[in-house]
Chain A
Amino acid sequence: MKTQNQRAWFFVTPVLLLVAFNALIPMMTVVNYSVQETFGDNLFFWQGLDWFEQVLRSERFHNALGRQFLFTFLILIIEVPLGVAIALSMPKKGFWVPFCLVTMALPMLIPWNVVGAMWNIFTLPDIGLLGYFLNHTLGISYDMTQNPIAAWVTIIVMDVWHWTSLVVLLAYAGLVSIPNAYYQAAEIDGASRWAVFRFIQLPKMKTVLTIAVLLRFMDSFNIYTEPFVLTGGGPGNSTTLLSIDLVKIALGQFDLGPAAAMSLIYFAITLFASWLFYTLMTMNDNKS
């Protein structure tokens, strides 16, 4: 008879504890808030799923979610192709490689609230370098504190400036790992530049691009600091993304119940969308 000994499972306990303290327990407090109502003094009343219903029916939430999807969509559609294009045109060896890599990495090293502050000052119409140049030299009326379109353009450009490098670096890492023989074989096979990209470079970059898209999706979907510092969600509510709205409800209005319910819905959407991206992008790998 075979000896059954399951004691090895005890080795998993440290990980369980770690996960419990850094994820499960904090999250359970949010779950706790989401089904209760409080009027202070640490008094809580059972509320059931009312907060979830309220959030899902709220027009304010719908609008913030819509803005959030638009923002993330624009970020992905601009940063991923742009990042790949920049990676493709970067030198593969020589003196300029470290120069390009360091220059690319610089924006990512700047603290997020500083990025927001920098762009805020940069785009101010009266004293900012860009703002002044656009308004007074080119004569284009541009004020992101007044005009929603200008505000949107500014937060998009700011994020592209801040995070395209991440896609570039990942794509570049994928590109330099392609053995030279592939390019030589393609040359001998008479492949066009486009075919080389389509059948060699893109497939070889796929793994890193999957990671890049996932990271950029999650980061841009959860973005808070930079737009908060730059526009504060305005003008009006035009750049109030989900996270900004969430903080307003939780810390501005102290509506802990609805804020908790909204957090959980927000989390579920992020999780589902990430899963969807990952599944779609790796689907072909499992096909034989």
Chain B
Amino acid sequence: MAQIKLSNLRHSYQPNPASDADYALKKIDLTWDDGGAYALLGPSGCGKSTLLNIISGLLVPSEGKILFNDQDVTSLPPAKRNIAQVFQFPVIYDTMTVYDNLAFPLRNRGRDEDTVKRRVAAIAEMLEVTDMLKVRAANLSPDNKQKISMGRGLIREDVNVVMFDEPLTVIDPHLKWKLRSKLKELHQRVRATMIYVTHDQTEALTFADQVVVMQDGEVVQIGTPVDLFERPAHTFVGHFIGSPGMNVLPCDVQNGAAFFRGERVALEGPVATAGDGAAEIGVRPEFVKVSAGGAGIAAKVRKVADIGRHKVVEAVAHDMRINAILEGEAPNAGDDVMLDFKQSQTRLYKDGWLASQPEGGAR
């Protein structure tokens, strides 16, 4: 058990990185609290796996330090760091039984057979694989193989952190949900720090207490699922989380007020950061009200998609596409409507970063 601190971390796969673009990880300062359930979310190629491999010690970062409980472990090999990692594809030792697979990490560390027996029994019971212990691991189905991989990660009592690298990739959809809730349950039982890497927002938001969103080798935002949804710190987070993602509209800022194609849009509060980067308005489709006649911006409905629980209305205002989510009656394609943004949920972004503050001061 440990708090994990990444300090000034940079990593490049090239021997002599010249510019920022040569770095797979650009500059990471991050603290993972002991016992937390974290998700590391980002598109493919954003550096998630690199970061994970640096924490586990499979990679040595080009610059910066990794501290476990304030102890520098940057140059320690994986076996010395006392961590566990579950990979995208189930890694099992084919020739061994399930029991021997689970016992492997303990036996390698010279633990006595009584401890091994007790731990294997406990973990097998948690993962509901007790009846498979005598089976050769090669004969298991993919989801059970992945369970065994997880079991090997959890078998040691004193692991600092258990890391999951997109562990549900090869699992059938109906089993994904089961394994995901199993993981959540495991976290509550063993209370180890867990980091779950994924590019699937549903997986990240259901598993984690804190979600770390990465893009292009940088951490864009850290927050609870609610934070990420309601106050994305960057338009990327707004796009990436939510379905459909946040509406981002170009605008002009004059005297602290935002104008979208000349129409004034009320923001949640004052614009905090000065600077003259490209300004954009961000509002989630959930907070766009559609009415036939009323306040707001005039728009034409292009199409309406019924996705079950609600309908997604795609409208065009001043040649910008704006999505709205409606429950119940929706207009038809071709209708003229008014779009009204909920003021407390309308944010301003400059150069992609959140620039507006809520009314009544910063949070």
Q: What 1/0 flags go to B129-158 for Cβ under 8 Å of A? A: 000000110010000000001001000000
Asked if residues B91 and A190 are in contact (CB atoms below 8 Å), the reply is no
Using C-beta atoms within 8 Å of the partner chain, give the interface range for chain B: 20 to 34
Chain B residues in 8 Å Cβ range of A184: 53, 56, 58, 78, 85, 87
Chain B residues in 8 Å Cβ range of A181: 87-89, 91
Asked if residues B91 and A187 are in contact (CB atoms below 8 Å), the reply is no
A181 to B92, CA, bound (A): 10
Asked if residues B136 and A188 are in contact (CB atoms below 8 Å), the reply is no
Asked if residues A195 and B108 are in contact (CB atoms below 8 Å), the reply is yes
Say yes or no for A192: interface residue by CB 8 A criterion: yes
Say yes or no for A139: interface residue by CB 8 A criterion: no
Asked if residues A288 and B87 are in contact (CB atoms below 8 Å), the reply is no
User: Shortest CB–CB separation between residue B86 and chain A, in angstroms?
Assistant: 8
A192 to B83, CA, bound (A): 17
Say yes or no for B96: interface residue by CB 8 A criterion: yes
A203's contact among B53, B95, B109, B149, by CB below 8 Å, is which?
Answer: B95
Asked if residues B105 and A284 are in contact (CB atoms below 8 Å), the reply is no
Asked if residues A187 and B108 are in contact (CB atoms below 8 Å), the reply is no
Say yes or no for A287: interface residue by CB 8 A criterion: yes
Among B56, B104, B135, residue most surrounded by chain A Cβ atoms (within 10 Å)? B104
Among A189, A190, A195, A288, residue most surrounded by chain B Cβ atoms (within 10 Å)? A189
Asked if residues B136 and A203 are in contact (CB atoms below 8 Å), the reply is no
User: Shortest CB–CB separation between residue A174 and chain B, in angstroms?
Assistant: 13
Among B77, B85, B109, residue most surrounded by chain A Cβ atoms (within 10 Å)? B85
Asked if residues A287 and B136 are in contact (CB atoms below 8 Å), the reply is yes
Asked, given contacts A199-B95, A199-B96, A288-B139, whether A190 binds B108 with beta carbons under 8 Å apart, the answer is yes
Asked if residues B136 and A185 are in contact (CB atoms below 8 Å), the reply is no
Say yes or no for B79: interface residue by CB 8 A criterion: yes
A179 to B78, CA, bound (A): 18
Asked if residues A199 and B93 are in contact (CB atoms below 8 Å), the reply is yes
Asked if residues A188 and B108 are in contact (CB atoms below 8 Å), the reply is no
Closest to A285 in B: B138
Asked if residues A200 and B77 are in contact (CB atoms below 8 Å), the reply is no
A182 to B77, CA, bound (A): 16
Asked, given contacts A199-B95, A288-B136, whether A191 binds B85 with beta carbons under 8 Å apart, the answer is no
Chain B residues in 8 Å Cβ range of A203: 93-95
Chain A residues in 8 Å Cβ range of B87: 181, 184-185
Chain A residues in 8 Å Cβ range of B56: 184, 188
User: Shortest CB–CB separation between residue B115 and chain A, in angstroms?
Assistant: 15
Q: What 1/0 flags go to A268-288 for Cβ under 8 Å of B? A: 000000000000000010011
Asked, given contacts A181-B88, A184-B85, A287-B136, whether A189 binds B108 with beta carbons under 8 Å apart, the answer is yes
Chain B residues in 8 Å Cβ range of A189: 79, 104-105, 108, 152
Chain A residues in 8 Å Cβ range of B152: 185, 189
Chain B residues in 8 Å Cβ range of A288: 135-136, 139
A184 to B79, CA, bound (A): 10
Say yes or no for B84: interface residue by CB 8 A criterion: yes
User: Shortest CB–CB separation between residue A208 and chain B, in angstroms?
Assistant: 15
A191 to B89, CA, bound (A): 19
Asked if residues A185 and B108 are in contact (CB atoms below 8 Å), the reply is no
User: Shortest CB–CB separation between residue B109 and chain A, in angstroms?
Assistant: 6
A284 to B91, CA, bound (A): 20
User: Shortest CB–CB separation between residue B225 and chain A, in angstroms?
Assistant: 29
- Of residues 97 through 111 on chain B, the ones whose CB sits less than 8 Å from some CB of chain A are 104-105, 108-109
Closest to B91 in A: A185
Chain A residues in 8 Å Cβ range of B79: 187-190
Asked if residues B93 and A190 are in contact (CB atoms below 8 Å), the reply is no
B108's contact among A192, A200, A287, by CB below 8 Å, is which?
Answer: A192
- Of residues 64 through 93 on chain B, the ones whose CB sits less than 8 Å from some CB of chain A are 77-79, 83-85, 87-89, 91, 93
Chosen A-B contacts, 10 in total, with CB atoms closer than 8 Å, are A181-B87, A181-B89, A181-B91, A185-B91, A189-B79, A189-B104, A190-B79, A199-B96, A288-B135, A288-B139
Chain A positions within 8 Å of B, measured between CB atoms, are 179, 181-182, 184-185, 187-192, 195, 199-200, 203-204, 284, 287-288
Nearest 5 CB-CB pairings of A with B:
A190-B108, A185-B91, A181-B87, A189-B105, A190-B79
